[in-house]
Chain A
Amino acid sequence: MLNISNLQVSLDEENKQILKGVNLKISEGEVHAIMGPNGSGKSTTSYVLAGKDGYNVTSGIAELNGENLLNMDPEECAAAGLFLAFQYPVEIPGVGNMTFLRTAVNAQRKARGEKELSAGEFLKIVREKAKSLKIDSDMLKRPVNVGFSGGEKKRNEILQMAMLEPKMCVLDETDSGLDVDAMKLVAEGVNALRDGKRSFLVITHYQRLLDHIKPDVVHIMADGKIIKSGGPELALEVEHNGYADILAEVA
């Protein structure tokens, strides 16, 4: 599904190298987690995959089902099946949540050569999916993320993910700012999308989220590289001992 090899990335502005050779392979249906201290390059990895401006890829590859993500614009990455759930979903005053969702769904369908959904078809699907995420019709009508609580914003991200039906979901610290109940709700939303084919990359600081979204593989990232990979037990180890032991062990 996702194949990242020796990915090296620096910031356009400061000429500062952030990723120093990331290697990561995620197969169809797998859930991988990346943990790591602040500033290790986790979010940068997600942005580069999503095609954000401002990064300079100096070396390496990143492919989604054989398609090179690194020379695609964000909308092309999305149409190819990549979805990034934002750590800080952006508030967009004046753009209705429903309008935005329908535009996005139909733009992707169009890009893939599929038939666009009518207003009625769309409404039926979105209502059904919103209900399971406890998103009420008022939230759907409001401007995108404006006045949403932290939990509402993250649930809105998962709703978008559910509507867009991506092949590869990248969740950038989706648990940040969530209380226990909200985290559970979000995790249930993610788990509902696990169908054996769709793959997930979950970026998080805390093992707690991984109690709810059970990963197949856990990676530890530090200083722009993945320094250790293992099973779910690796997350528990981090939770108990912090990163110091692992960092020392690798060094």
Chain B
Amino acid sequence: MNSLTGKKDISDSLSDYFNQPFASSWANDIRSAALVTYKSFGAPSKRDEYWKYTNPNKLTIIPTEPAALFSNDETPMFSNIDRVKIVFVDGVLDLNQSDDLMLEGAIIESLADATSKDIHWARDLFGTLEKNGQKPVKRPLAALNTAMAEQGLVIRITDKCKKPLAIRYIHNSETSDALVHNIVKVEKNAEFTLLESGAGAARFNSVLEVDVADNASFHHIRTQGRDHERKTVTHIFGRLGKESIFKSFTMTVNGILTRNDAVLEFNGDNAKATVAGATAGDGESFHHDDTVFITHDAVNCESRQVFKKVLRNGATGVFQGKILVKADAQKTDGYQISQGLLLDDNSNFLAKPELEIYADDVACSHGSTVGAIDEDAIFYLISRGVPRKQAQDMLVLAFLAEAIDEIDSTDLADDINNRLAAWMDRR
């Protein structure tokens, strides 16, 4: 079997590399099945349809290339938000740096604790949404994560949580290679906001499975750290019940390789989902890829994809966004916009919008633009005495603001905006 292609060899050695003995657990059958899936797919390669614009090599080579630590004196992201804080260092839960795992309206456990119990509700969710998300597009690095991750949080939301849970991923070792798997179940009528920040590790592979029950809502705001040499691959798998709300926003600056997949499925009618991203990339080594797949399999659901990327000095941004509307998903409203702002001739924005529609009563729109900064707007600003660099920063922030506007909470949106503005100043 293994002699067919070199690809197989890479995939075997990557899973062997992460392989470790797990204590006896209900999760192990799920892990074994995920490993079988992973091995049947093999590691991703540039020949794969959804890896054409992003070379996965840095995500699959063993061992990972080291990544220098990013030192700075700024306060950690979301510090001024009233939150429950949980810290992972190089992908390992650090209870000493974390608040107590206590949040009103939520039950929070480590993945290790949850999997050590004889019976656990997470059995029905762990690996389930990831598995559902493997069709029609293969996502080998997510299967690898399910098979091999022993770190993560298992979160059950039973009520409307007033405070967000903030997970901070600290990158503390130049050679760390981390797998983190988080599971969130938002029960009927419950509400939850999850904040994530930080680079996590030299190479960071995270999976987030979110099940949003009927009338529940889930808000997710994420920033991916400023470490220049980090490699990151993330997958969000979301399932939406009737009249539920799912909103995810990610801000990315720096990082030599980022691949963010979001795979959402509408299961109940009248639900709404948004996936948004604001990205600022600088330099030839910057490569950032958002790949989104939204499946409408219910009536009258609304989905939005809003992605904005500012690229300079040879940076590359990729967007692959798909809306699949199944035959029974009438009254679907699907919206997708991806825009690249190139600050010079050397940078690249590659976009692949896809619509696949089998229902006949739907409204789906997609748009993708790429352009330079508006020189008339620059002249207007600088003719009022605003220095050119500052004028350009204002226009860049204004461009990204349309993605940040997708965040419902003004406090969190302001936090993101202020952080971005400060980074512009320091550049």
Contact in complex: B379, A92 (CB < 8 Å): no
Contact in complex: A107, B394 (CB < 8 Å): no
Number of interface residues of B (CB under 8 A): 22
User: Which B residues touch A164, using CB under 8 A?
Assistant: 384-385
Q: Looking across the interface, which residue of chain B has its beta carbon closest to that of A84?
A: B383
The A-contacting residues of B in range 364-379, CB under 8 angstroms, are 374-377, 379
| Chain B 393-418 interface mask (CB, 8 Å, partner A; 1/0) | 01101110110000000000000000
Report if B380 contacts A (CB, 8 A). yes
| Chain A 70-100 interface mask (CB, 8 Å, partner B; 1/0) | 0001110111000010100110111100011
User: Which A residues touch B386, using CB under 8 A?
Assistant: 75, 100, 103-104, 107
Report if B388 contacts A (CB, 8 A). yes
| Chain A 125-163 interface mask (CB, 8 Å, partner B; 1/0) | 000000000000000000110000000000000001000
Binding stretch for chain B, among A14-22, A48-56, A189-197? A48-56
| Chain B interface, >50% SS class | helix
Q: Which of B377, B388, B390 contacts A90 (CB 8 A)?
A: B377
Q: Which of A84, A95, A99 contacts B395 (CB 8 A)?
A: A95
Q: A92 with B383: in contact, given A75-B388, A107-B390 (CB under 8 Å)?
A: no
Contact in complex: B381, A92 (CB < 8 Å): yes
The A-contacting residues of B in range 51-108, CB under 8 angstroms, are none
User: Which A residues touch B377, using CB under 8 A?
Assistant: 90, 92
**Distance (whole angstroms) from the CB of A83 to the closest CB of chain B:** 8
Report if B327 contacts A (CB, 8 A). no
**Distance (whole angstroms) from the CB of A138 to the closest CB of chain B:** 18
**Distance (whole angstroms) from the CB of B121 to the closest CB of chain A:** 44
B residues with a Cβ closer than 8 A to A are 374-377, 379-388, 390, 394-395, 397-399, 401-402
**Distance (whole angstroms) from the CB of B391 to the closest CB of chain A:** 8
User: Which A residues touch B402, using CB under 8 A?
Assistant: 94
User: Which B residues touch A160, using CB under 8 A?
Assistant: 384
Contact in complex: A78, B383 (CB < 8 Å): yes
Extra 18 A-B pairs, beta carbons < 8 Å, given A75-B383, A86-B380: A51-B383, A74-B382, A75-B382, A75-B387, A75-B388, A90-B376, A90-B379, A90-B380, A92-B377, A94-B395, A94-B397, A94-B398, A95-B397, A99-B394, A100-B386, A100-B394, A103-B394, A107-B390
Q: Looking across the interface, which residue of chain A has its beta carbon closest to that of B398?
A: A94
Contact in complex: B384, A50 (CB < 8 Å): no
Q: Looking across the interface, which residue of chain B has its beta carbon closest to that of A103?
A: B386
User: Which B residues touch A86, using CB under 8 A?
Assistant: 380
